[in-house]
Amino acid sequence: MILIHDGEEMTDRQLLQAIALDRSVYPQNYWLDEEAALNYLHSRPEIYTYAAEGDDLVAYLNMSCVDEESYCKLLGGKQNDLCISSENLLSPVVGRKNYLYISSIVVSPVYRGKGIAKRLLSRFGEKLAVLRKNGIYFTDIIADVISPHGEKLCLSLGMRFAKDSACGGKLFCYTMEQGE
């Protein structure tokens, strides 16, 4: 049975499985090294939501609250998310502009077509609802998309195409007023 988990439950082994999954679907210029990924997990596990069958990760999503500097670098289109270190990951705060970076949504090819991505997004939506209930909003959202599936997802979320990135992806954005 495939279960959805929050990042606080993710083990280092499962994170390494996520890295292997990334490397099976993303171009090499988007590969995060193991040390940086482990730093993400250890400093901000809440950025991950994942699906596992037993102890084996079969899909995950990474959406991170990032600092303004990282958001602007991504929006500039000259760098991909490898410019983000664990120090650039923040906890969202009431009354502050909070920037959300949609980094990855990856499902193992063996498990595609089973509604897992939808379940991951639903769980993340639950996290956002809790934040909104506590007065915390993401005012600016960005994604660096490299697949037709990612483009379709961004458009379904109401994001708009902003520009091509120098790294081969397409940047999609969404901006809203606080409380919207």
Q: Determine the pLDDT at residue 79.
A: 75
Q: Using CA atoms, how far apart are residues 106 and 32, in angstroms rounded to an integer?
A: 14
Query: Region 123-150: what's the mean pLDDT?
Result: 92
Whether 94 has a pLDDT exceeding 80, the answer reads yes
Q: Measure the CA–CA gap between 8 and 155, rounded to whole angstroms.
A: 29
Q: What is the DSSP string of the chain?
A: -EEEEEGGG--HHHHHHHHHHHHHHS-GGGPPPHHHHHHHHHH-GGGEEEEEETTEEEEEEEEEEE-HHHHHHHHHTS--GGG--GGGB----TTS--EEEEEEEEE-GGGTTSSHHHHHHHHHHHHHHHHHHTT----EEEEEE-SHHHHHHHHHTT-EEEEE-TTS-EEEEEE--TT-
Read off the pLDDT band of 168 (50, 70, 90).
Answer: confident
- Asked if pLDDT for residue 125 goes beyond 50, the answer is yes
Q: What is the mean pLDDT of the chain?
A: 91
The tens digit of pLDDT for each residue in 101-117 reads 998 899 999 999 999 99
What pLDDT band is residue 179 in, cutting at 50, 70 and 90? very low
> What six digits make up the tokens of 137?
């909003």
Average pLDDT, integer, range 114-141:
93
Strands 56-66, 48-53: pairing kind: antiparallel
Closest CA to 107 of 2, 180, 28: 2
pLDDT, position 83: 77
C-alpha atoms less than 13 angstroms from C-alpha of 76 in its C-beta half-sphere: 11
Tokens representing residue 71 in the block: 């958001």
> Whole-angstrom Cα distance, residue 7 to residue 29?
25
pTM of this structure: 0.89
Sign of CA dihedral 149, 101, 157, 134: positive
User: Does residue 26 surpass a pLDDT of 90?
Assistant: no
With bands split at pLDDT 50, 70 and 90, how would you rate the model's confidence at 76? Answer: confident
Query: What average pLDDT does this structure show over 86-102?
Result: 93
- Mean predicted confidence (pLDDT) in 40-65: 95
Place of tokens 């498990």: 111
28: confidence class by pLDDT, cuts 50, 70, 90: confident
Which residue type does 23 have?
A: R
Give the side-chain half-sphere CA count within 13 A for 104: 28
pLDDT at 56: 97
Mean pLDDT of 46-58: 96
Tokens for 142, please give them.
Answer: 């960005």
pLDDT at 177: 62
